[in-house]
A and B are shown apart, each in its own frame.
Chain A
């Protein structure tokens, strides 16, 4: 497997795993408090909607001329990558609260109980919440998998990496029957942000007409540079409140 293919597989797997952990929390919350059948139906409907989106957009993207494709893909990966990286750096620096799956689970179950008893048969509340949760969390992953996969003409590899991540998260979720609060979400988001930003810089510049010194080997310098720069930013902007807590511990 080439370096770019490995980058594709790792990025899509981690991005999909993070979003699947978040979607699992929502499905678990409505499933346990209201109706498993309705929650799982909503989640399945969202997965079908995501598959249809992939089937429609995939061939369209791969038919674009290579330079246009790289420009579009580079731009999208950079915009998404910088969003992921920014949030991960802010969380690592203590400026933004960590994503707490247990807290989100408590909020979702409280909201599910507050709307009254579940309806007979298919419960619209459970179906809608599970559908929206899975669709919204999955949409970004679909774009990441599509852009990464289309640019390298490796859509099956991107789909396999995404499928493996979903299967792993669902299997662990079924085994523990509670939100995966101990998953190192911010470290995973940090990694995905670094990969998306690095590949976005590389392909975006190529698509705009630039030639990288060393060709594809330039990625071996870009990825660690983005990682080191991001870690330095997290350190430089570290909140004084975190420093005080660390000193007291």
Chain B
């Protein structure tokens, strides 16, 4: 059981890294793109969400760094 848990934790760590919010945001953004039925205008979702996710991720680390 411990080995299964360790393996699951290893896979989670490998995929999500140390920022699970960004990994979850990527999945949400792909889902949002798929939900927009107009294929001609759905392309803007990914670049926009990625820019927001990256900025928030850096901002969180910078805030933590300045607080420590």
Contacts and interface: CB of A to CB of B under 8 A. Distances in A.
Given A71-B30, A79-B26, A239-B65, A86 B42 contact: no
A204 B23 CA distance: 13
B50 A90 contact: no
A208 B17 contact: no
A79 B23 contact: yes
A227 to B, nearest CB: 12
A208 B30 contact: yes
Contacts of B53: 82
Contact of B33 (A86, A208, A225, A237): A208
A24 to B, nearest CB: 21
Contacts of A90: 58, 61
Query: Looking at A95, A200, A213, A225, which has the most chain B CB atoms within 10 Å of its CB?
Result: A95
A134 interface: no
B35 to A, nearest CB: 9
Contacts of A46: none
A83 B50 CA distance: 12
Contacts of A191: none
A91 to B, nearest CB: 11
Given A82-B53, A86-B19, A205 B58 contact: no
Interface of A: 71, 74-75, 78-79, 82-83, 85-86, 89-90, 93, 95-96, 139-140, 197, 200-201, 204-205, 207-213, 218, 222, 225-226, 229-230, 233, 237, 239
Q: Lowest 4 CB-CB distances: which A-B pairs, in order?
A: A210-B42, A208-B33, A208-B34, A83-B17
